[in-house]
Chain A
Amino acid sequence: MSSSASLFLVRAPALRRLPLRSALLLAGLLCVPAFANDYWLNAILIPFLILSLAGLGLNVLTGYAGQLSLGSAAFMAVGAYATYNLVVRLPGLPLVADLLLGGLIAAAIGTLFGLPSIRIKGFYLIVSTLAAQFFVEWIFTRVSWFSNNDSSGVLSAPKYAVFGWQINSPVSRYLFVLGTVVLLFAFAASVVRSELGRRWMAVRDMDTAAAVIGIPIARTKLLAFALSSFIIGIAGALWAFAYLGTVEPDGFDLNLSFQILFIIIIGGMGSIGGNFLGAAFIVLLPILLSHAAGVLASIGVNVGQLQNLQKILFGTLIIVFLIKEPDGLARLVQIARQRMRDWPLSS
């Protein structure tokens, strides 16, 4: 924004308007079930919200604290299996407690695999998160105790209810996911604005300098792993209970970890709202492409090639984003908003 324009515009601090904006957005999202049909809720809105949440979790770790992770899906699996076992084995507990405990268990496992980060830096660290990814997939396939000794390996998610409210229809699942997502986003947003969030950013930007000014590096990194895995674990439980409807190791493979990483690259590293943008992109692009398939098929493109084209498009977009807009869609939206505000007073 140029300085001449700022003379004419009296700008309220952005933060003061934030609650109003969030409330408007929330009201909009609450009204959605009135318009959307079941397909929209099941295939688009629910995965969109859950992936945003998983993106938020990874963003805390990678975008704010600067620790690269390729094991997000593993921590989602831990959250899902932990919640499942709590629901099945301790029927007396309310679902909210199951979810919270499931998240805490995921946080504990995440912290465990984060321990090497105290000694190992940079790329060497991805070995630890990849170890988590493969080990978790293996143990949930092999050890039948985790799947309640069910031999099929595919568990259907049990029926569940919150405070007597049965969650079985698409609308109720949507609202349940929405409520969880909103609470966790509010929580994470306040944490990254706190002293802890500033410490994370200091460690991300230069850990040696952060250590010099007295930030306890080990504790700061481990707290990032813990909060990140907590959020990702709850996202995993929602993914299994509210989206897939089943609990199975195959639902949480390395591909899902990559998808979550792409969400934060495209949405914006080190941004809270960007996770929504990135997740919307990841969920909507394949749907748009399959709609485009009809058009492409009519001009002679083999439909079977679509998946390859989609891969190429994805890869290209990632590289273009990294080159042109390293801060992702969140930054583009910010720039656009600034332009709108300045217009027509300055060009």
Chain B
Amino acid sequence: MNFFLEVLLGGLLAGVMYSLVAIGFVLIYKASGVFNFAQGSLVLFGALTFVSLVERHVNPWIAFGLTLAALVLIAIAIERAVLRPLVNRPPIVLFMATLGLSFILEGAAQLFWGAQVHGLDLGIDDKPIELGGVMISQFDIFAAAVAAVLVIGLSLLTNRTRLGLSLRAVADDPLAALAVGIRLPRIWAIAWALAGFVSLIAGLLWGARLGVQFSLSLVVLKALPVLIIGGFSSIGGAIVGGLLIGASEKLAAVYVGPLIGDGIENWFPYLLAMLFLLVRPSGLFGEPAVERV
């Protein structure tokens, strides 16, 4: 029973890490209706820039600030060069544009900082500690705490500030938001910058675990099923989806894996997401689309 609990808790906490990536998606999808495949590349770009600056003996806090500034600049550039010219185009076109964007970001990150693997030490050991008879990784707890702070911060921002009000207005109805004088391009840039911030946090946590390297951009493939289960437009959904995927993935790898072979965690989340969709086609918390002819 203890072993089961350990696997379950480990899975849940790993799921939090997936949620962190998925939250970036949700921010952008809500504000600009773009399914942003480049989120993984933003994670890579953020982590790689931070690590490379720290390795060049920049104070970590300054490095964090510089990386954040770079991500904000990128957000503004994306709004100018990609989103603005593609306004009112079908969502599939915007999605493919973000595919191109992910190529640019990955190429640029490795062009500037090289392709070797960097270690990243956040000062928290990835050692298990005992909590009520169950072994849990310290690092996982730290990651979960960071995620909690982040979610609380984001919900305060969206629910208690004027900026949050505009963000929600744009998410609700872009045309109406325009009509009451909200500047859509600015909101888009802010949403992308926020997503950049979230992806930097996710990049640091993932980077500390896996090492900062190209494969970091592949966490986007882990975050996709999370996003699908939670629905594209709900931060809470992203968290719940992450927990669901994390837990079931670990449980499946431990209990089902030996029966049919290793490595099922690559496709198992997708299967799960698909089954979910067959029951709820817009995810757990997504809004069902209303169509008019």
Binding site for B on A (CB under 8 A): 66, 68, 116, 119-124, 126-128, 130-131, 134-135, 137-138, 141-143, 206, 208-209, 212, 254, 258, 261, 265, 305, 308-312, 314-319, 322-323, 326
B270 touches A124 (CB 8 A): no
Q: What residue of chain A has the Cβ atom nearest to residue B270's Cβ?
A: A131
B residues 74-108 in Cβ contact with A at 8 Å: 81-82, 85-86, 89, 91-93, 95-97, 99-108
B105-146 CB mask vs A (1 if < 8 Å, else 0) is: 111101100010000000000000000000000000000000
Which of B92, B100, B101, B277 has a CB less than 8 Å from the CB of A124? B277
Which of A128, A309, A310 has a CB less than 8 Å from the CB of B274? A128
A121 touches B289 (CB 8 A): yes
B293 touches A206 (CB 8 A): yes
B293 touches A131 (CB 8 A): no
Q: What residue of chain A has the Cβ atom nearest to residue B78's Cβ?
A: A319
A322 touches B97 (CB 8 A): yes
Tell me whether B180 is interfacial, beta carbon within 8 Å.
no
Task: Indicate whether A121 sits within 8 Å of B281 (C-beta atoms), given known contacts A318-B99, A322-B96.
Answer: yes
B267 touches A138 (CB 8 A): yes
Report chain A residues within 8 Å CB of B106: 311
- Return 20 A-B CB contacts under 8 Å, by A number: A68-B95, A116-B277, A119-B278, A119-B281, A124-B228, A126-B224, A130-B270, A131-B270, A308-B111, A308-B115, A311-B103, A311-B104, A312-B104, A314-B100, A315-B104, A319-B81, A319-B97, A319-B101, A322-B89, A322-B97
Question: With A and B bound together, what is the CA distance between A311 and B91 in angstroms?
Answer: 23
B281 touches A315 (CB 8 A): no
Tell me whether B282 is interfacial, beta carbon within 8 Å.
yes
Tell me whether B225 is interfacial, beta carbon within 8 Å.
yes
Binding site for A on B (CB under 8 A): 35, 81-82, 85-86, 89, 91-93, 95-97, 99-108, 110-111, 115, 221, 224-225, 228, 232, 260-264, 266-267, 270-271, 273-274, 277-278, 281-283, 289, 291-293
Question: With A and B bound together, what is the CA distance between A123 and B81 in angstroms?
Answer: 23
By Cβ-Cβ distance, the 4 closest A-B pairs, closest first, are: A315-B103, A311-B107, A318-B100, A131-B270
Question: With A and B bound together, what is the CA distance between A318 and B108 in angstroms?
Answer: 16
Report chain B residues within 8 Å CB of A209: 293
Question: With A and B bound together, what is the CA distance between A315 and B101 in angstroms?
Answer: 6
A123 touches B232 (CB 8 A): yes
Task: Indicate whether A312 sits within 8 Å of B263 (C-beta atoms), given known contacts A121-B281, A127-B273, A319-B97.
Answer: no
A315 touches B100 (CB 8 A): yes
Report chain A residues within 8 Å CB of B289: 121-122
